[in-house]
């Protein structure tokens, strides 16, 4: 046995009442009441000590009860000196009871001290206390020595078993508290993750849409201030309205994604390029449903890549290739090159940095760079 096991206290969870069932608490109180009844019966059952003797016996019972209560409190607080002092008081009361002829209360107190010491004190201190208490019991017990020996061994074993049982209950309480803390931390982490996901969805959907609307509306304002003709102003307003409509559609799609109600990925990509001239979608591999995060990453990267094409390569032909593999899905968006569009100078929006961040959060990767005469974006996401 290690030194820490000899000098260490039973845990506070083991010494406390938390985790103790109601029947067990009732049993413990029943045992205490029986011990008190035994003390009283031993003091007054078969003798008439007189007024002074009766007062002394009552005082001894009260002192023993108070010392026992204080002993339980100080051991819970892990105060060794106070606990040993109180145990000394109990042993002293037992010696006084034996000296005045109250043998039964003395024997009960010695047994209780031995069992309680083994249950609640560090073993290095509990051993000597239990030896003194149970040895005193052996000396003054009037039963045959085999019976006394069996009783002493049973008391020592009972005290140690109670200690092990209390430690097991304390360990269960600590594990329960740790599990509750882990569940609370997990719930908080899940909430933060969900908030971050919602924030990404809102940013992905609205960033480029609102920035594009702002560009068109600002252009319309400048045209009005410069007295431009009605057709040019109307063209900008209609373009802003189109951007707002597209943003509303994307917002609805994002809300559907947050609810887990996603359209098939292939259908989404086909619809995404339906309004673009010279755009085509190719799907290879065994088609299958993807996890929500992976599917949403592909959708957002495809949207952003096409937005960048409209910004920087108007008139370019765009090819989207979705490749289902055994352990990952790959999306390639390549354009053939074109002229800068009217939205080139609008806000940075989600951009390549945001796309790469989304991919890396899922354990994937994103590469973007020139390819032939145009530009290519390649997303790889494990599934």
pTM of the model: 0.48
Q: Are strands 374-382 and 365-371 parallel, antiparallel or unpaired?
A: antiparallel
The half-sphere exposure of 324 on its side-chain side, counting CA atoms within 13 A, is: 12
Residue 23 has pLDDT above 50, yes or no: yes
Comparing 204 with 138, which gets the higher pLDDT? 138
Could you report the per-residue pLDDT of 346-367, keeping only the tens digit for each?
A: 444 456 777 788 788 888 999 9
Residue with tokens 């100078």: 345
Specify the pLDDT at position 172. Answer: 83
**Mean pLDDT: which of 153-162, 194-203, 250-259, 324-333 is highest?**
324-333
Q: What DSSP element (H or E) covers 185?
A: helix 145-225
Mean per-residue pLDDT, 194-214: 72
Q: What is the mean pLDDT of the chain?
A: 79
* pLDDT tier, 322 (very low <50, low <70, confident <90, very high otherwise): very high
Could you report the per-residue pLDDT of 270-316, keeping only the tens digit for each?
A: 887 876 667 888 999 888 888 877 888 888 888 888 877 877 777 77
Closest to 199 (Cα-Cα) out of 259, 125, 258, 135 = 258
Residue 339 has pLDDT above 50, yes or no: yes
Q: How is residue 21 annotated by DSSP?
A: -
| DSSP string across 114-130 | HHHHHHHS-HHHHHHHH
* pLDDT tier, 81 (very low <50, low <70, confident <90, very high otherwise): very high
Residue 144 has pLDDT above 50, yes or no: yes
Taking the C-alpha atoms of residue 85 and residue 23, their distance in angstroms, rounded to an integer, is 32
* pLDDT tier, 254 (very low <50, low <70, confident <90, very high otherwise): low
CA angle 36, 42, 47 (to 5 degrees): 140
* Range scoring the smallest mean pLDDT among 28-32, 190-194, 364-368: 28-32
Mean per-residue pLDDT, 150-173: 84
* pLDDT tier, 259 (very low <50, low <70, confident <90, very high otherwise): low
Whether the Cβ atoms of residue 217 and residue 273 lie closer than 8 Å to each other: no
Could you report the per-residue pLDDT of 215-250, keeping only the tens digit for each?
A: 888 888 888 888 888 888 888 888 888 778 777 777
Mean per-residue pLDDT, 195-203: 71
Whether the Cβ atoms of residue 304 and residue 204 lie closer than 8 Å to each other: yes
Q: How distant, in Å, are the alpha carbons of 39, 77, 152, 330 from that of 159? A: 20, 20, 11, 67
Specify the pLDDT at position 346. Answer: 47
Comparing 235 with 47, which gets the higher pLDDT? 235
Mean per-residue pLDDT, 322-328: 90
Residue 40 has pLDDT above 60, yes or no: no
Comparing 243 with 326, which gets the higher pLDDT? 326
Residue 190 has pLDDT above 90, yes or no: no
């Amino acid at each position: 046995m290690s030194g820490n096991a000899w000098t260490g206290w039973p845990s506070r969870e083991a010494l406390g009442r938390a985790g103790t069932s109601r029947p067990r608490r009732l049993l413990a109180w029943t045992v205490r009441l029986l011990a008190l009844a035994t003390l009283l019966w031993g003091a007054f059952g078969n003798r008439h000590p007189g007024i002074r003797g009766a007062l002394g016996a009552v005082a001894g019972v009260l002192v023993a009860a108070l010392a026992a209560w204080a002993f339980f409190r100080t051991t819970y607080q892990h105060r060794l000196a106070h606990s040993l002092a109180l145990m000394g008081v109990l042993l002293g009361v037992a010696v006084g009871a034996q000296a005045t002829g109250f043998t039964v209360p003395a024997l009960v107190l010695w047994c209780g001290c031995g069992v309680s010491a083994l249950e609640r004190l560090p073993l290095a201190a509990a051993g000597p206390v239990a030896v003194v208490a149970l040895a005193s019991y052996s000396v003054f017990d009037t039963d045959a020595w085999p019976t006394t020996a069996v009783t002493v061994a049973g008391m020592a074993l009972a005290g140690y078993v109670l200690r092990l049982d209390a430690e097991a209950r304390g360990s269960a309480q600590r594990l329960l508290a740790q599990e509750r803390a882990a569940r609370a931390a997990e719930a908080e982490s899940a909430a933060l993750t969900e908030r971050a996901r919602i924030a990404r969805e809102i940013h992905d959907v609205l960033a480029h849409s609102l920035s594009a609307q702002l560009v068109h509306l600002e252009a319309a304002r400048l045209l009005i201030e410069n007295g431009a003709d009605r057709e040019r102003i109307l063209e900008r307003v209609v373009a802003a309205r189109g951007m707002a409509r597209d943003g509303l559609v994307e917002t609805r799609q994002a809300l559907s994604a947050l609810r887990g109600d996603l359209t098939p990925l292939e259908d989404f990509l086909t619809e995404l390029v339906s309004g673009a001239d010279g755009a085509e979608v190719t799907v290879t591999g065994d088609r299958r449903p993807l996890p929500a995060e992976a599917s949403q990453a592909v959708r957002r990267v495809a949207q952003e890549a096409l937005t960048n094409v409209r910004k920087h390569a108007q008139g370019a032909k765009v090819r989207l290739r979705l490749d289902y593999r055994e352990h990952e899905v790959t999306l390639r968006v390549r354009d053939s090159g074109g002229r800068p569009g009217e939205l080139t100078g609008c806000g940075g929006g989600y951009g390549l940095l945001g796309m790469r961040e989304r991919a890396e959060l899922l354990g994937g990767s994103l590469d973007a760079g020139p390819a032939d005469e145009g530009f290519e974006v390649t997303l790889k996401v494990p599934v």
